[in-house]
A and B are shown apart, each in its own frame.
Chain A
Amino acid sequence: MDLLARIERREEWGRVASEKAQAAGDGFLWRTADKSQGGRGLPAREATTPRPVPGRDEHRDGVLYVRLTLRAGELAQQAEPGQFVMVKADDGLDPFLRRPLSFHRINQERGEVQILFQVKGRGTGLLARRLPGDALQLLGPLGRGFTLEQRMFPENGAGTQRQRVVLVGGGIGVAPLLALAEKAARGGDEVLLLLGARSRDDLLAVSDFRALGAQVHLATDDGSLGHHGLITDLLDQVLREDAADAIYACGPLPMLKKVAQLADQFGRPAQLSLEERMGCGLGACIGCVVGTKGPGGQPTYKKVCQDGPVFPAQEVILP
């Protein structure tokens, strides 16, 4: 649970600092939109795959997102989609706390896991500077992840039936959904990704979902790619078409609230991956609580780090 993992690969997404750097192609990652693909009448286009960046570069300030591949055989064996690790961003006492980051991908065969994070503040800023070969201090796997419900249909002989699994991601909330999509696809489920973000530059890992055979529908706040509006507009449409058996969501709070409301309205099970400030990630400090409906509907607090981060939508009282 307490381990060091070596960084094998590092990919970054960032705004191009200068034309020159872009022309030199010196490792700074940039994105363009490319091919478009329809589906269910919903618009969907794809951003490019990130390129691996081997070394340091001078444009790091523009880095928005980083994906690290970590060699950690034990973690890869134990990790479940939706679970997370607590990562020490740097040696030393400041920043003091570890940062919670979800498993983005879990590759048991290779003994690797991936994390994908947005550069937000000091901790993720320091993490973004870590290079292949560096070791990261991790605690994990932690928490309760997503559970893919198996619907049993013994009467048609097969035992189980393909589930139509709808993943709803907002911004960096896409991070844990890829691991879940991989698991669902392996289990033979039909995966639909609904991914929304501010702008097309913030739509991440889309091609990885497509590579799994997932259907992808995108939305952006600024209309630069996909549906111009909220991703939950698309979820509403999917639910109206009765095309979802179960919903799994990760993203900003307003999105999660809307997902919970729609799931309730259409009577579909939904699991939400929540965030809260964490002291320990281990259940010790009781710092990371979310309001839940306790026995008899009494409000109570549960720990996001231990009882979650994934909760059934009908159990939580979102603030």
Chain B
Amino acid sequence: MKRAKPLDSKPLTARQVTSRGLGAGAPRLEAAGPFGNGPISALPNANLTSENKQVAVRIGDLFLQNPVLTASGTFDPFTYAELVDLNRLGALVLKGLTLQPVLGNKPPRIAETPAGLLNSIGFQNPGLEGLLRDILPRLKDVTVPIIANISGDTEEEYEELASRLNHLPEVAALEVNISCPNVARGGMVFGTDPEVAFSVVSRVRRVYHKTLIVKLSPNVTDIAAIARRVEAAGADAVSLINTLLGMAIDVRTRRPRLGNVTGGLSGPAIRPVAVRMVWQVARAVRIPIIGMGGITSAEDALEFLLAGARAVGVGAANLVDPRATMEIIEGLERFLEEEGIKDINELVGAVRV
């Protein structure tokens, strides 16, 4: 989360880096090139080239030019395009989507906690029609995979959303959120019972024919058991963790700090829990894992890879440092260079226990 920009420098402008031609089964692309001149070149090692390192990874049918994704709900592609080159991301994961528009929970929706935050956004989103009308058309220049993150109150809703998204060429993959702690019904209940998880994922799988990622809840005793059932139901990958259910109280007013009373904890505070869960799930399933939870630096991301994640999601860090994903990508490239590692895939699950 360090910045190394000159004083009074100009805003960083988004730069269009064309996506690498990733043929199926040939994940040998370089990461996007040097940052170029101007204020950005003040970044450490900004002129790093990446000819002899390989940071591309594969998740299901998706070839990602690097393993760094935005975590759902923590990144606005429109405002962030001023600071981040969207086409340098591994993939762009959109905010949680439901079939119908959702108003969301009453404020306050954010409470800062030690090295993290609680949120109770409650899925405020414009619904599928809103996505089609207002969001996707404005993402036409994004050349990296766009992943939709979906939620529902019922299995039918998940199924309908999935089948309608199946036909959209703009959406490369689906992340099915069975783990949101912020909705009264649905959300997390689908992710805390292995058989309920199996059932909803099976139904989505029947109608969705592209890459299907299932996002797991950490609010369970045995996350590996859920992951196994999700794999059995046909998921191509799992992503974890979603936020941990939490609560904070203002002792003077004696009121909860969130309007919704409880909310989801994210940020560096949860990282050790997330790393442990990735490690457990990695030993339980064969499908790739997208690891997340408190990643703010390349070193954090590497921890997840070593624990068994094939790719990582960056969430809360985006709120504090909009360029976090870019810095992490650069940091990973630098790490490979420094350690003389040819292919980042060598690190996946390479923790020495």
Contact = CB atoms under 8 A, between A and B. Distances in A.
Contacts of B137: none
A20 to B, nearest CB: 33
A2 B268 contact: no
B8 to A, nearest CB: 5
A71 B110 contact: no
Given A74-B11, A95-B112, A278-B110, A3 B5 contact: yes
B117 A1 contact: no
Q: Is the interface on chain A under 10, 10 to 19, 20 to 34, or 35 or more residues?
A: 35 or more
A97 B296 CA distance: 13
B109 A286 contact: yes
Contacts of B63: none
B124 A289 contact: yes
A266 interface: no
Interface of B: 1-3, 5-12, 73-76, 78-80, 82-83, 95, 103-104, 107-117, 119, 121, 124, 267-268, 296, 316, 318-320, 322-323
A93 interface: yes
Contacts of B107: 276-277, 288-290, 301, 319
A139 B322 contact: yes
A300 interface: yes
Contacts of B116: 96
B256 to A, nearest CB: 13
A4 B73 CA distance: 27
Contact of A287 (B79, B103, B121): B121
A262 B10 CA distance: 43
A132 interface: no
Given A282-B79, A284-B74, A5 B8 contact: yes
Contacts of A285: 73-74, 110, 119, 121, 319
B109 A277 contact: yes
Interface string A89-113: 0011111111000000000000100
Contacts of A280: 74, 76, 318-320, 322
A73 B11 contact: no
11 contacts: A4-B7, A4-B9, A73-B8, A92-B1, A96-B112, A96-B320, A280-B318, A285-B121, A288-B107, A288-B110, A289-B104
Contacts of A2: 3, 5, 11-12, 83, 322-323
